[in-house]
Amino acid sequence: MHITYKKLFKLLIDRDMNRQDLKKQCGVSSASVAKLGKGENITTDVLVRICTGLNCKLEDIMELVEDDVSNEIPED
């Protein structure tokens, strides 16, 4: 399983915001925004800042999804 931030980027679109707006409104660094875009791990502090800045809950910006096992090579 892994975390995806697709909900965050959909929320930004719905609010007519871009990544620069996210950085300014939530006090998030460029590096953190880049990690979000790549689906990489970020600190809970950053997630809290985003939720506070956008007045939303964690489940509004991220979700846990199953890994796609159809592309994995089976082990012997």
pLDDT value at residue 75: 62
The phi, psi pair for 70, rounded to 5°, reads -70, -25
pLDDT in tens, the chain (76 residues): 889 999 999 999 999 999 999 999 999 999 999 999 999 999 999 999 999 999 999 999 999 998 876 666 666 5
Q: Where do the structural domains in the chain lie, given as residue ranges?
A: 2-67
CA distance 58 to 61: 6
Q: Number of H helices and number of E strands within the chain?
A: 5, 2
**Domain 2-67 maps to which CATH number in 3.20.20.70, 1.10.260.40, 3.60.70.12, 1.20.140.10?**
1.10.260.40
Here the tokens at position 38 are: 């790549």
